Chain A
Amino acid sequence: MKILVTVKRVTDYERKVKISPDGLSLVTEGMNFVPNPFDEIAVEEALRLQKAHGGEVVVISIGHKDASKEIRQALAMGADRGIHVIAEELDPDAVARLLMKIVEEEKPELVIMGKQATDDDANQAGQLLAGYLGWPQATFASKVEGLDSEAEKAQTPGVVIAGGEATVIREIDGGLETLKLKLPAIVTTDLRLNHPRFASLPGIMKAKKKPIKEVPVASFGVDITPKVRNVKYAEPPARKAGVKVADVAELVNKLKTEAKVI
């Protein structure tokens, strides 16, 4: 089974991001970059499915030329080869339409993507891609047994593939939903699907020799003019300090008069 996985290069979520003085972009100089954590889960799931069903895992990144580092990391985890579309920052729609071209060429049976990237948290590319391809989709894939389960310890995939169908447990408000999809299909991953493996040292050495095909974005003939425009970045408002109340009466009074919630 051929599986396509996407990996986005994002700013390190453990570092504080800074907004440029004009408020139109984020400062990237001196910033650390890491693979989008949801995408690492996608890579892990693809590798587990490959172990169970054989086939090939192809990693795609669309973005900065240095994103080859994030592809290389997925290859070090065990993926077979990479495709790197070198482009400036794109909106999710452009990404979905570029991915559609790659899917048409590669003809995978499954595309696994992080449900969103931790930089802009758009949560759109997977759904848009499914729409453009006319493929079934299961977003927010999760593991019903949970991350402390024996199934997870045995590295069992959460997505079940059988008889040309994928069964996916997904997280919805207040519960879980089970979907059966006809392959080929799109799956996007949530946090509770698996624990991604570490890239082992021999894996890192092997990854050096695995191929990464670099493709300039222009070669796809896709109009990548953004449909989404960034108007302004702003820090979240600082949280006001709390106050201590002496008794319940004062609390009720404040909830009525100040917070106006009761």
Chain B
Amino acid sequence: MVAQPKPTLEAVEEQLLPGAGFLLHEAASKEIFTAERFSDEHKAFYKTAVDFVEKQVVPRHKDIEHKVDGVMPDLLRKAGELGFHMVDIPEAFGGLGLDKTTTCLVSEALARQGSFSVAIGAHNGIGMLPLVFFGSDELKKEWLPKFADASVIGAYALTEPGSGSDALAAKTTAVLSEDGKHWVLNGSKMWITNGHIADVFTVFAKIDGKKFSAFLVPAKTPGLSIGREEPKMGIRGSSTTALSFDNVKVPKENLLGEEGKGHKIAFNILNMGRLRLGVAVMGGCKMILSVATKYAKERKQFGQSLSEFRIIQQKLADMAVATYCGESTSYRTTGSVDAATAKAKDSPNLAQKLVDAIEEYNIEASIMKVSGSEALDYIADEAVQIHGGYGYSEEYAVECAYRDSRINRIFEGTNEINRMLIPGTILKRAMKGQLDIMPVTQEIQESLHRAASPVPQQGTGPLAEEQQLAELVRKATVYTLGTAAMKLMTELEKEQEQLTMLADMIIDAYTIDTVVRRAMQAQNETNEKAAALHRLFAKVAAVEIYDRAMARARRIVVELFPDADQYTRFMELKRLHLDVTAPVVVLKRQIAEAVIEADGYPLSYV
């Protein structure tokens, strides 16, 4: 069945690229981490999480959605009994100290119930990680065991009525009391997940109105009042409230990290949150695809099942391809973070190394967040469409899934903010000399003026054409990004429309690189049936990505070079043209067949 022993994380470690490094090297040429390389423990963790959510969480769906008193804390405690909150707690503090792939794999499994997924993420993700990464040993010793069994529930309070995306403009203040023993907090917070059920909040406030910092604030502290439940479009079972602070006194020792370094905490926790969200939405995608597929098989119109209509088959195939893309980029990225920290596993500096690695791959995390949340929205939308009128009824699961999905494009940094960050961070690193975008752009430009093909097809393997397409997309992306940066220099920052298109090109470049490489690796690491599916997914994704990437590159050139250079740029881009002959429609029918046979996403981890 398996042709050879599976490569481990070490194979990835040896060829590990730095953050955004996929733009600088031949596409699909480096070993990456994939779902096919999960360890037996990874799979066992995932199975426990799936069993738990299906047997304990999903059956209480109605109670959760109606916020029946005590249901969510009870489920969080049950999750604690199985060790889910211990994954990110270091062993020294009674946790399991597992890798980020495990964190994300568990999140993916638990995402089958949207409200629960958000509540547990606020507890053991953004609520607990500031303490894990930045808390003093005393604070960790006191609080982490309580987070582990959920005897204390956590929450993260960053956003304020006046500051959402512009988080550092927070107005909440902290002043040291006269006796120097307490911080006194004043201000208000907005959209705080777990507001009503939390026992302790990570609160961001400015010391003396200036130094942005983070504090651990117990919910029962006098002066802290918790607002009413916000009635929401989706994830209705999760608690969301405002908080207000009226001379709230917390012990001096409850400062997390250093005074004035709160932005580091906020941004790193958001980076980690994006990584986790990017994977969690994949759990949603798979769940919804399964519901839609089963419905399409059962529902008959014009004397046949919906799943026999090709227009429905195409939808199912598109949903599966989007899931494959998201799953591939997700676990490649968690694998990169794990590989980057593998050697530091027993180091006393592990927390810092983890923060550094998560920052190193923050571009990839933004990519996962944006493309994953949009894949989920798209899949939820099509699932409603497949259900027709029934999809609009509360009686059917897709109605709730559709509403629940929408928040993912908003929280953990809106997709707009993340799209600005993707090219923005790359260019910042290029300016600092950390990323060789400019020399590589010049190399590519030169290659476009030579007689030989800038991207000849390599070999005749089953994925040779896809590898070629991935390399064309990579070159087109770097070419467009680099050329735009050279022309506009720092003015590019203002061109948000161009930056959005560039972000989409970079997202596509990472995705095509990843899916083609994953499919290549899978040829030796799975059975023939699965290997054939990987080929199908990679082919369809590669062709569609190539087509839209080239269209975007042309559009950016039109917008940025309205002058004499335009013709030269067009001619250069034309050298990256390839007549793609793959019959995508036929390939999608084959994918749909596999989806229908498997009652959903046709690849499984276990």
Contact = CB atoms under 8 A, between A and B. Distances in A.
A199 B41 CA distance: 11
Contact of B48 (A69, A198, A208): A198
Given A32-B604, A201-B86, A73 B44 contact: yes
A76 interface: yes
A204 B45 contact: yes
Contacts of A200: 48, 81-83
Contacts of A199: 44, 47-48
B462 to A, nearest CB: 18
Contact of A72 (B40, B52, B98, B530): B40
Contacts of A148: none
B529 A201 contact: no
Nearest to A33: B606
Interface in B38-84: 40-41, 44-45, 47-48, 51-52, 81-84
A224 B529 CA distance: 33
Interface size band for B: 20 to 34
Nearest to B50: A198
Nearest to A30: B529
Interface string B518-545: 0000000001111000000000000000
A69 B106 CA distance: 19
A210 to B, nearest CB: 13
A235 interface: no
Contacts of A207: 44
A205 B40 CA distance: 11
B112 to A, nearest CB: 15
Q: Which of A29, A203, A204 has the most CB of B within 10 A?
A: A204
A201 B46 CA distance: 10
B529 A29 contact: yes
A62 B41 CA distance: 22
A163 interface: no
A103 B51 CA distance: 32
B564 interface: no
A202 B148 CA distance: 12
B44 A76 contact: yes
B521 to A, nearest CB: 18
Contacts of A29: 1, 527-529
B83 A202 contact: yes
A189 to B, nearest CB: 19
A167 B84 CA distance: 37
Contacts of B44: 72-73, 76, 199, 204, 207
A201 B1 contact: no
Interface in A76-127: 76
Contact of B41 (A30, A32, A198, A205): A205
A208 B43 CA distance: 13
With a 10 A CB-CB cut-off, give which of A30, A200, A201, A207 has the most chain B CB atoms.
A201
B87 interface: yes
Given A29-B529, A30-B527, A198 B82 contact: yes
A198 B50 CA distance: 10
B96 interface: yes
B52 A205 contact: no
B82 A201 contact: yes
B110 to A, nearest CB: 12
Contacts of B106: 201
Contacts of B1: 29
A201 B52 CA distance: 12
Given A69-B40, A72-B40, A202 B96 contact: yes
Contacts of A201: 45, 48, 82-84, 86-87, 96, 98, 106
Contacts of B527: 29-30
B532 to A, nearest CB: 10
Nearest to B87: A201
Contacts of A72: 40, 44
A30 B606 CA distance: 10
A32 B50 CA distance: 15
A208 B87 CA distance: 16
Nearest to B91: A205
A30 B529 CA distance: 7
Interface string A151-176: 00000000000000000000000000
Interface in A171-228: 198-205, 207-208
A69 B98 CA distance: 20
Interface in B293-342: none
A72 B51 CA distance: 17
Contacts of A203: 83
B162 to A, nearest CB: 41
A124 to B, nearest CB: 29
A30 B530 contact: yes
Interface in A14-32: 29-30, 32
B103 to A, nearest CB: 11
Interface in A27-56: 29-30, 32
Contacts of A198: 48, 51-52, 82
Interface in B190-232: none
A170 B456 CA distance: 72
Nearest to B95: A202
Contacts of A208: 41
A183 B52 CA distance: 36
Interface in B98-118: 98, 106
Interface string B17-42: 00000000000000000000000110
Interface of B: 1, 40-41, 44-45, 47-48, 51-52, 81-84, 86-87, 96, 98, 106, 527-530, 604, 606
26 contacts: A29-B529, A30-B527, A30-B529, A30-B530, A32-B604, A32-B606, A69-B40, A198-B48, A198-B52, A198-B82, A200-B48, A200-B81, A200-B83, A201-B45, A201-B48, A201-B83, A201-B98, A201-B106, A202-B86, A202-B96, A203-B83, A204-B44, A204-B48, A205-B96, A207-B44, A208-B41
Given A200-B81, A200-B82, 15 more contacts: A29-B527, A30-B530, A32-B604, A72-B44, A198-B51, A201-B48, A201-B82, A201-B84, A201-B98, A201-B106, A202-B86, A202-B96, A203-B83, A204-B45, A207-B44
Interface of A: 29-30, 32, 69, 72-73, 76, 198-205, 207-208
Question: Which 5 residue pairs of A and B lie closest in terms of their CB atoms, listed nearest first?
Answer: A201-B83, A30-B529, A200-B82, A204-B44, A200-B83
